[in-house]
Chain A
Amino acid sequence: MRDEVPELKALAESAVEQARKAGADAVEAIVQSGAELSVKVRMGEPEMVHEAGSRALGLRVFKDHRSAVTYTSDFTPAAFAAFVRESVALAQLSEPDELNELPADDELARGALPDLELWDDATLSVDAAEALRRAVRGERAALDYDKRVTNSEGASYDRTVGASAFATSGGFSGGYRGTYQSLVVEPVCDDEGGKKRNGYHFTAARFLAALEEPEHVGREAARKTVAKLGSRKIGTRDAMVVFDPDAGRAILRLLVSCVTGTAFYKKSSYLIGKEGAQVASPLVTVVDDPLLPRAPGSRPYDGDGLPSRKQAVVNAGILETVLCDVYSARKLGRKSTGSAGRGVGGAPGVTTSNLVMQTGKTPVAEVVKQTEAGLYVTDMMGFGFNAVTGDFSRGANGFWIENGELSYPVSEITISANLEAILCGIDLVGDDLDFRTSTACPTFRVAKMMIAGS
């Protein structure tokens, strides 16, 4: 496929130029272009083929220390010219904010951008017919795995290719493109009492060759789903809790929502004032690394146009870095950590790239083996987290561990504790880690949480 980046860069640079001419003091333009193919099969038959491409441009314009953020997908010359003029006029509605300015020129990424190997030509070799075949193979393997797999939510194969360019009147101009594909299989089993049990397994990667075989995905999905048969509620108690990597990722996302400059200046984090202090067990090290080759969350520059860099968020339990974009850094009187994300429709905001909790020394199988009694959590439900206080309470599914083994499946319970207690209570960290998604986490165990059940 033709590399769209040069064209998108030219579009972004031209938008900056036009906005300057329309009276803006400073301008940023971001252009994103993408094409997606998404197919779904169910019970062996195609259910959906979804195919489309799109392109949109976002502007942030500054005029007399006031700013506006606008976007459009209409590139016809007359409509676009009107859009630029209106964007500049709109800025007059905001109120002056001396901190809300473009980054200083010497902060911007300069020179050649790092090549992070985010593009795979092979991605586009999978057309709708091949995507359907892969999905059928995955679902078939799940249905064949065990006769108790009686139904299916289906199997989906998705691929996206995208390119992005960013230009600022401060002199930054850059762009990059990337690919990503995934296959997910979601079997359903019938359980007693008319209940159904559903589960899933997925494979995802920037490079086609890195995907797991469809049959493997299907069998894993079926294995995980069948294991939930006979799931029951348990009694209310304190217990050890082991988080598998899927559930653990969610805990990691909660932590990071509390270590952004935005959360700090909005006084919306229980970690304010804790920099340099112990906020997690010494076994916990969390980094945000935008420069990992071929990783889903990698980016060569950030949403403010600053160079990407690796940040240790928590190092051996010590809170080291509050992730900042340019604006939140200024609010806090510090320097940006190059952690801005950016979509077409909004201003820069702090986002993580590849957020990774480092592996521990305990072989993953040992984490459960060393747990005499406790809960093994595979997925969680709900939104029960208060970033201001750290109070955490969510629904959970998983297995009860007895004598170091997964004994029976558990559902319809909640797990609760303050996030500080959860993170400080981590006493085992597994040696398993995968990079299917941009947040990656090994299996870990928390010494004590409250389980509410019957």
Chain B
Amino acid sequence: MTTLAARAPFAPTGPAAIDAAIAQQLLSAALASGGDYADLYFEYRASADFVYEEERVRNVGRGITLGLGVRVLKGDATGYAYTEELTQERMLATARTAGQIAAGGGAAPVAVPAQIAVADFYPVGLPTIDASPQGKLELLRRADRAARAYDARIVKVECSVSEELKEILVVTSDGRLARDTLPLVRFGVRAVAESAGKRQAGSSGGGGRYGMEYFDEVLHTPEAHGREAARIAITMLDAVDAPAGEMEVVLGPADSGILLHEAVGHGLEADFNRKETSNYSGQIGKRVASDLCTVIDDGTLPSSRGSINVDDEGFEPQKNTLIENGILVDYMHDRISARHFKRKPSGNGRRQSFRHAPLPRMTNTLLMPGQHTPEEIIRSVKRGVFAKRFSGGQVNISNGDFVFSLTEGYLIEDGKITAPLKGVNLIGNGPDVLTKVTMVGSDFELSDGMWTCGKDGQSVPVGVGTPTVKIAAITVGGTKAG
């Protein structure tokens, strides 16, 4: 990102500029107690949000966070400390605190940091946070009007824009220095419909690492999100009780990717496999999914919410194939797990902020398209569920059980989509469910950036994507037996 004016105090032109010499001095202090490796993570984050409710701007908020996190590795142990005060004295003290993990031993040498060139996967001329606030308020009004105009039964609408601009500087004791500037915007609409004593809500949202041009796309306009939220709320007024038990389930394109994220994604993050606490431990080269499944994690997709120009340990993101035609090919690595498995890091070392140590994390996790049309897939189902929108998912890494919560779903009867279903939870076991993928559509879509992934108390933005997929049997947690 060379087009943006840096505003972080630690930027080369900033009041507390960090250059290679200062970084080297801090890294030396961090390793003085005998650590093997150290890194510095400087972060400046400006964020803003606007909430529009009951036809007026209800909330405007802004915040700035700034800090330095210092990590020291000694064997498999991590020492971590951070400071919000970027004075020489505080930074040195923080480096020494992190270094205490290593009790004695000779200090590792600190290489002279050399800046690495990073790609630009999210070229943004003007980040939204610098765009006119009035323009953003107008987006909220447009979404509100569109949702209300959709149907007279819409009784409440709430719209929001959240945006941030993050600048990072990573410096490692083995000589890497990388800078990046990451824009992120998320737009959301929630509508409540009321009719004959029934009430239902619907939501639509999206965004990514875009500037204001995000809203120019037909599917991304405030009106599109407003109408979509209203459509779901109105549709759900007629929702019937969902069935209970194992049945065929067809997952719609894009957001259904959270199934992959939960069912296999987390289990392939190499920290769990290094510790042998994942049920995918020791499974490389083995069949873990039907041969229709090829799963990749790709941090390089243009402007996607989960994309990065450099990971939070100073490594370039990659397009990593995790599962190829059903065979487990690779895990996702950070520096610690890569060292354990004696391979190169895969560019998946990510962290929530300077207050957190990096972990192997997903970026954009995708299921590659197959041969079938979505119509063929629906037509093939005698009785089942079509899953379209979700509120989230969760997985137990150890045993592979995962759930995802459906907010918009429909019955499929005799090959046709029929009644909308009340919200329902689906549960399966990762390795088991993926072997039951019997049809994969040709209609791949990337999610419209709205997902945030939580792990070990750290949240990071991610992307997911998938075509229409049929699962031969998965448990649908409805209330209606039979």
**A interface with B by C-beta (< 8 Å):** 42, 45-52, 54-56, 67-74, 83, 86-87, 90-91, 93-97, 100, 128, 151, 153, 188, 191, 194-198, 231, 233, 236-238, 266-268, 270, 345-347, 381-386, 388-389, 391, 393-395, 397, 411-418, 450-454
Contact = CB atoms under 8 A, between A and B. Distances in A.
A388 B59 contact: no
Contact of A198 (B58, B83, B277): B277
A412 B475 contact: yes
Select the residue from A55, A71, A393 with max chain B CB neighbours within 10 A.
Answer: A393
Interface string B423-448: 11111110000000000000000000
Nearest to A189: B398
Contact of A411 (B57, B194, B199, B401): B401
A415 B199 CA distance: 23
A393 B57 contact: no
A139 B393 CA distance: 29
A35 to B, nearest CB: 11
Interface centre among B98, B355, B475 (most CB of A within 10 A): B475
Contacts of A413: 427, 475, 477
Contacts of B133: 93
- 8 closest Cβ contacts across the A-B interface? A414-B477, A382-B403, A384-B425, A196-B398, A395-B403, A452-B244, A198-B398, A393-B425
Interface in B153-182: 155-156, 158
B482 to A, nearest CB: 8
Given A91-B60, A411-B401, A395 B84 contact: no
A268 B192 CA distance: 8
Contact of A383 (B79, B94, B391): B391
A253 B395 CA distance: 21
A153 B327 CA distance: 27
B57 A452 contact: no
Contact of B63 (A151, A345, A453): A345
A154 B66 CA distance: 31
Interface in B398-424: 398-407, 422-424
Contacts of A237: 481
B201 A388 contact: yes
A150 to B, nearest CB: 9
Contact of B64 (A68, A83, A94, A452): A83
A16 B165 CA distance: 28
A194 B426 CA distance: 23
Interface in B433-482: 475-481
A71 B45 CA distance: 12
Contacts of B98: 51
B476 to A, nearest CB: 6
Given A151-B277, A384-B424, A97 B355 contact: no
Given A153-B275, A266-B156, A94 B59 contact: yes
Contacts of B401: 381, 395, 397, 411-412
B244 A86 contact: no
B200 interface: yes
B66 A452 contact: no
A54 B84 contact: yes
B117 interface: no
Given A45-B76, A49-B78, A49-B79, A386 B481 contact: no
